Structure 1
Amino acid sequence: MVDDISMPSNHGGIVFPLDMFRPTMLAAAIAEGLISQARNIVDAKLELVRHPEIQLVLVRIIGGVVGDDPAAFWRENVELGVVASQVLPRQCFLYWVAGEPEPRQGFIVAQRGQVLHAQDATQDQLPPEATAADWPVAQLLTQLQLEPEELAGGFAGGPRVELSLLDREGDDRELLMTLVGQQPGGEDGGQPEAGGPAGSAPDAEAGPPAPKRASVEDDKKRRAAEHQAELEARQAKADSIHADLPYVLDELGIVVAPAGAELADADILSPFVVAKVDGELPPGIERGLQDQLQGKRVDFAVPVEFLSEVFVEEGPLSKPAFEERSAARTLGGAELRVLEVLGPRLGRGSFIRRGRAGVFVSRTPELALPAALITELLDRQG
């Protein structure tokens, strides 16, 4: 019964898969989101903690701006998850958990500035027979393969870094290396040699350096330059994928396997979703195949690490939903599980899973699936 649910302590934050990102940009985005609401961030710090065993990062804010109710803070500021998703390479999850006397849980899934899904529940909104596993964040943790205690404990034991939300200054490379678990500057931690200038005693009369303050115009230029750099990076990634594009041909057409692409790369993958070729082929596909593929399909297949990267009707796919709805299917002589899902901004397709390894193919299950290609992508994930 709901009355028997033992709720975790009051907490909230943002969780996302660890990938290449700029912690200073994340801090700047969150700071700007708070400043736009006239929030005081003088003492606020952004804390990033990597899970000690898996590649997930927890983001929390420390300081008076959060107040005494972290769950309420994150629930009332869900737009922070949206702005964070604009500078993160993959989807992120902003969540909140409030315990007794008024238990409440919820989360949003955001990717590239868009809310893909949201859930929020109080005790009276759950059915009488609900258990602890039926709360929204509990279901999210099942997808992420986390225990509630790990999240409530702030990924205790994992590497962590902090950034002031007021200054947002830091070395992105060193911050990332710390999160990954490596010492910046090598095994010795990058300490200067004894007797060197960096080891000299500081000038006792010198005051602290004045904090750097960028003008509004400088900030606009910085953001414009960062946006342009992001566009150029996306184009460079697309060009790299187009230069070496593995594929297989079958009776339905062609299925490409863009190396290095993820389901979140909708801008790169969407050209490879063509129901019927009529004229030019998408970039990267050999021109010599153009006549052969007229009137046929173009599809893609990419690895999928987390169940929540794909969607079913009610939201991100969960492990219980996959186990209940997926069908056994033999591909390449191996027993796999297959389910029709939605790839965000890409359309419907098939999610194929073997153990913890997954693949999304932009063909629905009733169509022929490229067994050899799927097996190869699954094998790469171990």
Structure 2
Amino acid sequence: MVDHSLPSSHGGLVFPLDTFRPTMLAAVLAEGLVAQARNILDAKLVLTRHPEVPQLVLGQIIGSVLDGNPAAFWRENPELGLIASQIMRHQLFQYWVEGGEEPRQGFIVAQRGQALAAQDATRDQMPPGSMAQDWPVAQLTQQLQITIEELAGGFEGGPQIELSLVDREGDDRELLMTLVGQMPGAEDEDPAHGQHAQQGQQAQQAQPAGAPGPASDDAQAPAQPKRITAEEDRKRRAAEHQAELEARQAKADSIRADLPYISDALGVVVAPKSAELADTDILEPFLIPKVEGDIPSGLPRELHQSLQGKRVDFAVPVEFLSEVFTSEGPLNKPAFDEGAQVREIGGQSVKVLEVLAPRLGSGSFIRRERAGVFVSRTPDLPLPEALIVALLDQQG
């Protein structure tokens, strides 16, 4: 059955909910459209969190800039996802779905400004006998554990925020709290403040009729801040970029200061605390097929001699199947179930599949129920079993 209440043409950006600046996301999308001389006067960025999968956010643009066809808009503007991914820590999906008599579906996987994979298909390009679940976006929604109808419905029922692409004004912290589903300021409220407010209300109610009361909140409201100039905006962006670089360096320093590792016949495997597969800049130094000279900072210096000619690898938790790739694109559940081998690791039954980590290369994806780990060793090499089990146990 077709739900005719859902739009036949839709598209947008899907990404994991993490700390980011909604105003900056709106700004980079606006800049990308203005660079094409597109009219964005009435355009808005709408961000909606999935009501039941709280780690997923859907970003949509509404306004005349879409020209009435969201699917065509997102398909014809692939650079929007690339520039948006530059301010995100994790992978971002830009997708489009066109229904009707000439159906078409596709998506782009982007990370740090680079396209990692892409699929686009029309009816003529699909294999004979293909079902609805075989189309690209339908397979994408399977690995994200949502439905294509939920995408079409705009994650209906989930917390939502919107920003004008022209003004892009707002408090990023409050916007994020709204998106998470919390009332902005609720966790910071001073109980004494609430008591004083209640006392103020009681005093106002006790005032005789016609007596002057306390000044209203509107009268005390601060004036709206003036718009910043282009030069001020440039300086602000430069300062933000520098702050991001310093934050990355601080994270790398913290990881190197307390770096768990295990040694085996092939070398060492490190498990950087708080690192994710998207932290390629932090993980790359711990990916050495053959040590010849210095060892990575964070490993004990007494290992320097014993590691010469051996490997340095890493292991990190993986939350989404789509964080790793096969030759066909982002990993999804059917592909994993079909290709993975059942093995015993640390006395536990797990599934293991050789995969690609974006910009890091081949390795093993180990999955136990919903918990996953990536190790930068392929399945034909000895895997650090105790380390893998410990990382799986951390995820429950």
TM over 0.5, yes or no? yes
Q: Which residue of 2 aligns with 1:34?
A: 33
User: One-letter code of the match for 2:40?
Assistant: I
1:256, 1:301 within 8 Å by CA — same for their partners in 2?
A: yes
Which residue of the partner structure matches residue 153 of structure 1?
Answer: 153
Match of 1:11 in 2: 10
Residue type of the alignment partner of 1:152:
A
In the alignment, the residues of structure 2 paired with residue 164 and residue 236 of structure 1 have an alpha-carbon distance, to the nearest angstrom, of 34
> What's 1:350 paired with?
364
**Distance in 1 of aligned mates of 2:172 and 2:186:** 16
**What is the aligned partner in structure 2 of residue 119 from structure 1?**
119
Which letter maps to 1:94? Q
Residue-pair matches, total: 376
Alignment correspondent of 1:274: 288
Question: 2:13 & 2:215 partners in 1: Cα distance?
Answer: 37
Equivalent positions of 1:67-78 (< 5 A) are: 67-78=67-78
CA distance 1:49–1:277, change in 2 (3 Å): same
Q: Which runs of 5+ in 1 are unaligned?
A: none
Separation in 2, partners of 1:299, 1:225: 34
Deviations 1:126-153 (A, max 9, x none): 1221110111100111111111111111
- 1:295/1:41 Cα in 2 relative to 1: closer, same or farther (>3 Å)? same
- Whether contact under 8 Å (1:117, 1:316) holds in the other structure is yes
Q: What's the secondary structure of 1:38's corresponding residue?
A: coil
3-state SS of 1:90 partner: coil
Q: Which residue pairs with 1:200 in the alignment?
A: 217
Partner SS, residue 65 of structure 1 = helix
- One-letter code of the match for 2:32? G
Determine the C-alpha separation between the residues in 1 that align with 2:225 and 2:43. Answer: 16
Name 2:180's counterpart in structure 1: 180
Name the larger-Rg structure: 2
Identity %: 69
Matched residue SS, 1:29: helix
Opposite residue 168 of structure 1, the aligned amino acid is R
What TM-score, normalized to structure 1? 0.93
Q: Which residue is equivalent to 2:138?
A: 138
1:82-102 superposed Cα distances (whole Å, 9 cap, x missing partner): 111001111100000111022
Q: 1:198 to 1:179 in 2, by over 3 A?
A: farther
- Is structure 2 residue 322 aligned with structure 1 residue 305? no
Is 2:85 the counterpart of 1:91?
A: no
1:226-276 Cα offsets, whole Å, 9 max, x none, are 221111111111111111111111111110000111111111100101111
Q: What do the CA deviations read for 1:294-317 (whole angstroms, capped 9, x no partner)? A: 221100000011111111112111
The DSSP-based 3-state class of the residue aligned with 2:304 is helix
Structure 1 pair 198–15 and aligned structure 2 pair: CA distance change class (3 A): farther
CA distance in 2, matches of 1:209, 1:28: 23
Separation in 1, partners of 2:26, 2:142: 28
Q: Which residue of 1 aligns with 2:301?
A: 287
Contact 1:167 / 1:212 at 8 angstroms: preserved in 2?
no
